[in-house]
Amino acid sequence: MSKPRSLKSVILLRLAIPLIIFMTVETVLSYFVTLHYVDNAYDRWLLDSARSLTQEIKLQAGRVVVDLPPEALEIFKWDESDKTYFKIISAQQGVIAGDKFVPEPFAPDTDWSKPVFFDEMMYGEPVRVVSMLLPPEPGAEQVFVHVAETVNKRRAMMIDILLADLVPQLILVLVVGLFLLRGIKRGLQPLQLVANEIAQRSPRDLRPIPERHVYQEVQVLTNTINELLQRLAYGIASQQRFIANAAHQLRTPLAGLKLQAARALREQNVEAMQPALVQIQNSADRMAHLTSQLLVLARSEPIEGDYELVPVDLVELARSTCMEFVPKALQRNIELGFESDEPELIIKGDAVLLRELLANLLDNAITYGKEHGNILIKLERNPTPCLIVEDDGPGIPESERQRIFERFYRIPGTAGVGCGLGLAIVKEIADLHKARLQLRPFNEQVGTRIELKFD
């Protein structure tokens, strides 16, 4: 089995991923915004240098001349980190002064009404260039001034601004991450406490988990576990009651067996042993019946997921089970009738258990019904499949109708080898099939009618 993922890492990851995406987007955005402002500021300086150059351009006898003293050139070029180049061009004379490699804007539709800024390469280095056309003087030729400057200052400024933006952000993320990690660890602690609490218990300790130190979210879990523990405790208690009852029920015929066997052994001839042997047979019958009822009950005990319900034809099942009970009914001169509206009634069920259910109902009807009476087994679709067993015997008093479904309960004074498990088995099998069980008198006062409605 692969190791399950840690909740802590999942929460952290879910928080960290959007945080990293947000930070990246924010950094890219702020890079472009910063670039814009830095460029604006330095472009203004570049324009100032270009304008200072234009001061040195003179008009002599209609010709443009540039008189650039070395000191002025020095001041113009002076910069700690960047190199500055310039070029002055007149329409007729070509390059009048400066470096002829200074780039110019090539677009033919360049708007010369205002200075033009652009990025280019010069001597293998990126440069920012400003180009301007001097205001034309009457009769004079057109003069262009181009000034290029390497971008070291701009870059340094960009890096400074970006670092100033990014470093506090990174520190913030680290600090928030640390607090988150601690917070998540602390937040998940109650789960560990609940796990410890359960791990330390003995398997017999089914008390609910105490509600101290429990958050709402953890409480959902503990409540569910507590409900399960409660059902488990109830199940175990009823299981124990059942075992105690079963042991008690088995002990009675066993004690009878021992007693009768001892009595038989005391007798000298077979004749005298006869009554004791009859008793032994009776006790053995009771035990065999009890054992088979206990086994059916154990089989019908609802264990989730253990049963595969398959299509079963109720008509066929009821008819064949009735046939098995004909001899027993005849012994008491009871007429056993079978009626079905439909040729077949298919339900989803367990055929073996459904046969046990019907066998118990028929056994009761024959055993407790009146001699020379009538029993009717009916199958209807009204509108869902319904199995009915009716007898015209003495019926079951109203006050007993709940209790007879309890395990080992028999109506006081009832004779026979029964052990009081039949109807408990019927109920368990009905529950397993999610069928509704109804018991009422067959004919207002007398008789018994048991209905089993399947969905």
Ligand X SMILES: Nc1ncnc2c1ncn2[C@@H]1O[C@H](COP(=O)(O)OP(=O)(O)OP(=O)(O)O)[C@@H](O)[C@H]1O
**Going by DSSP bridges, is the β-strand pair 346-349/125-133 parallel, antiparallel, or unpaired?**
unpaired
Q: How far apart (Å, rounded) are the C-alpha atoms in residues 148 and 83?
A: 8
Type and span of the H or E element at 383: none
Shortest distance, CB of residue 402 to Mg ion, whole angstroms? 16
Tokens of 393: 């015997």
Query: Distance (Å, rounded) from C-alpha 245 to C-alpha 294?
Result: 11
Nearer to ligand X, 165 or 363 (CB): 363
Residue 411: name its binding partner from Mg ion, ligand X, none (Cβ under 5 to 8 Å by kind).
ligand X
Interaction partner, residue 368 (Mg ion, ligand X, none; CB < 5-8 Å by kind): ligand X
* Minimum separation from the CB atom of position 281 to ligand X (A): 17
Tokens of 159: 């890096």
Residue 391 near which of Mg ion, ligand X, none (CB within 5-8 Å, type-dependent): ligand X
Closer to ligand X at the Cβ: 222 or 364? 364
Q: How many alpha carbons fall within 13 Å on the CB side of residue 301?
A: 13
C-alpha 236/C-alpha 177 separation (Å) is: 48
**Minimum distance of ligand X from residue 410's CB (angstroms):** 3
**Which one of the spans 77-85, 316-324, 345-353, 364-372 is the region binding Mg ion (CB under 5 A)?**
364-372
Minimum distance of ligand X from residue 397's CB (angstroms): 9
Taking the complex as a whole, how short is the minimal distance between the CB of residue 359 and ligand X, in angstroms?
10
Judge whether 400 and 411 are in contact, CB under 8 Å.
yes
The distance of closest approach from Cβ of residue 216 to ligand X in the complex, given in angstroms and rounded to an integer, is 47
53/425 with CB nearer ligand X:
425
Closer of 105 and 420 to ligand X (Cβ): 420
Q: How far is the CB of 390 from Mg ion (least distance, A)?
A: 16
In the complex, minimum distance from the CB of residue 360 to Mg ion, in angstroms, rounded to a whole number: 5
| Alpha-carbon span 52 to 49, nearest angstrom | 5
The residue (of 218 and 365) whose beta carbon lies closer to ligand X is: 365
Query: What residues from 389 to 418 belong to the interface with Mg ion (CB under 5 A)?
Result: 418
Return the residue matching tokens 């002076």. Answer: 78
Query: Of all helices (H) and strands (E), which one includes residue 321?
Result: helix 314-331
Q: Cβ 420 to ligand X, closest distance in Å?
A: 4
Q: Of these, 96, 422, 433, 450, which contacts Mg ion (CB under 5 A)?
A: 422
Considering the rule CB under 5 A, would residue 364 count as an interface residue with Mg ion?
yes
What does 184 bind: ligand X, Mg ion, none (CB cut-off 5 to 8 Å by kind)? none
Of 63, 219, 30, 242, the residue nearest 140 (C-alpha): 63
Identify which of residues 263 and 427 has a Cβ nearer to Mg ion in the complex. Answer: 427
Alpha-helix residue ranges (DSSP H) falling in 188-269: 189-199, 216-266
- Give the residues lining the site for ligand X (CB under 6 A): 289, 293, 360, 364-365, 368, 391, 393-394, 396, 404, 410-411, 414, 418-424, 448
| Consecutive H or E run containing 213 | none
Radius of gyration of the chain (CA): 52
Q: Which residue, 210 or 397, is less far from Mg ion as judged by CB?
A: 397
If the CB atoms of residues 31 and 409 are measured against Mg ion, the closer one turns out to be 409
Residue with Cβ nearer Mg ion (115 or 394): 394
> What are the phi and psi torsion angles at 194 (to 5°)?
-65, -40
Find all residues with CB under 8 Å of 40, minimum gap 6, and list them.
none
Q: Name the residue whose CB lies closest to Mg ion.
A: 422
Handedness of CA 387, 391, 397, 403 (dihedral sign): negative
Question: Which residues touch 233 (CB under 8 Å, ≥6 apart)?
Answer: 206
Min. distance of Cβ 405 from ligand X in angstroms?
A: 7
By CB under 5 A, tell whether 369 contacts Mg ion.
no
Cβ proximity to Mg ion: between 386 and 424 the closer is 424
* 293 binds Mg ion, rule: CB under 5 A: no
Alpha-carbon distance 273 to 264, whole Å? 5
Residue 414 binding target from ligand X, Mg ion, none, CB below 5 to 8 Å by type: ligand X
Residue 88: strand, helix, or coil:
strand
**For residue 124, what are its two tokens?**
């293998």
**Minimal distance, residue 381 CB to Mg ion, in Å:** 28
Of all residues in the shown chain, the one whose CB is closest to ligand X is 422
Q: Which of 331, 397, 390, 401 is closest to 364 using CA atoms?
A: 390
As given in the structure block, the two tokens for residue 7 are: 């909740």
Number of residues that bind Mg ion (CB under 5 A): 3
Comparison of 86 and 368: residue with beta carbon closer to ligand X: 368
Rounded alpha-carbon distances, angstroms, from residue 34 to 101, 155, 161, 166: 30, 11, 7, 13
Report the interface residues with Mg ion, using CB under 5 A.
Answer: 364, 418, 422
